[in-house]
Amino acid sequence: MVVVGHEGELVKHGLGDDVEYSLQAEQLGTGHAAMCARQALGNHDGPVLLLAGDVPLIRAETLGALVAAASGPVAGAMLTAMLDDPTGYGRVIRDTAGRVVRIVEQKDATTEEAAVREWNPSVYCFQSSGLWDRLGRIRSNNAQGEYYLTDLVGLTVSDGEAVATVSVADHREVLGVNSRAELAECGAVLRRRVVERLMESGVTVVDPATAYIDVTVTVGQDTVIEPQTHLCGRTTVGEDCVVGPLAIVRDSAIGDRCTVVASQIVASQLGNGVRVGPFANLRPGCRLADGVKIGDFVELKNATLGERVSAGHLTYIGDADIGAHTNIGAGTITCNYDGFAKHRTVVGEGAFIGSDTILVAPVTVGDRTITAAGSTITDDVPPDALGIARSPQSNRKDWARRWRDARAKREKGRG
């Protein structure tokens, strides 16, 4: 149950339909936000976890320990952590016996209370019995005029019930995000976690500090992730691959034994043994079969390439189907857009497309066909044929010598 308020529609767009939402129409504080979820939770009887929305690094294991602590002879439990400088966070105030008695926010703390190093990440677990009554008794008589969720601890203690604590060993797990600098800090921690998990599973990450890998990414054993590599979104990488350096792969599936060097791949699928790069760009909708080779400065878009197709360099293949074992020469272009609509190019199996061939779609080139270098192909080419479309060459005898003599004469006249 996610309580949304300010820019709530953006939050819903980001989280999707996997959660339920409650609206906090007026932002009156964290305690008020928790109360907004009461009706949606209905007659739930049992533990209720309350988490701040800006604590992105918390682990499921930590929450499990918190729930376990709240199931003892206590009314609830809370996380705490130690910081050398807890400025900005609520302090955990204990009595002489070490029992928690209340939480004091920074703006309401005395000098002595502000010196306490134990702070409150605002993550709790309370039994539903008594929770809603105490939330309703929270008052806004504080420096910010808000209903603090932290007051729930003091109310529970004043009712004669205890609140257990679970100390987080690494305070970074419960860091809050209140600025872009803190967002970057938490992002670095999360990326390190992801990298460590991958390395434990048998992936080699050459430079963890420069590997940007989303938590949603999966990578197979014995794959090597080179420096400055970004694996983003719903990306899967198979086994025995080399990805990077300087590779960006987003929402794509890469098979086993592939190599991607200094290239970008977006929303595409690669079979096994595919090589891409350097400096290639695979735009959405590309499907590359096993053994395909895409070389430097090649761009693909919405293209399907059969097994062992090779496009070595300086080529654009858009809205095209290329048959297996076809070779695409340097400088080949599929002209897929006529200014009004996109059209498809089809090249059969075993074809040889000569360098600087322009394929003006819609056009079909048959199996085992050859196109002559420098040709502009506007009509279909049947199987086993040679497609040639270029002007006849003419050589003018002594033209270059006469041109040089004329230029020299002009320059001499200027002198």
Structure tokens at 212: 């940007």
Structure tokens at 389: 């479309």
Give CA–CA dist 132/146, Å, rounded. Answer: 17
What does residue 73 show for φ and ψ, rounded to 5 degrees?
A: -75, 50
Residue 13 annotated to the active site: no
Query: Catalytic one among 32, 44, 313, 325?
Result: 313
* Helices (runs of H) and strands (runs of E) counted in the chain: 9, 35
76-82 and 118-120 beta bridge pairing: antiparallel
First to last CA, the chain: 88
Residues 60 and 72 sit within 8 Å (Cβ to Cβ):
no
Task: Give 311-334 as a DSSP string.
Answer: EEEEEEEEEEEE-TT-EE-TT-EE
DSSP structure class, residue 54: T
Contacts 24+ apart (CB under 8 A), 384-393: none
Residues 317 and 336 sit within 8 Å (Cβ to Cβ):
no
Structure tokens at 402: 């006469």
Burial of 286 (0-12, 13-18, 19+ CB in 10 A): buried
Structure tokens at 300: 């693909």
Residues 178 and 52 sit within 8 Å (Cβ to Cβ):
no
Catalytic residues: 313
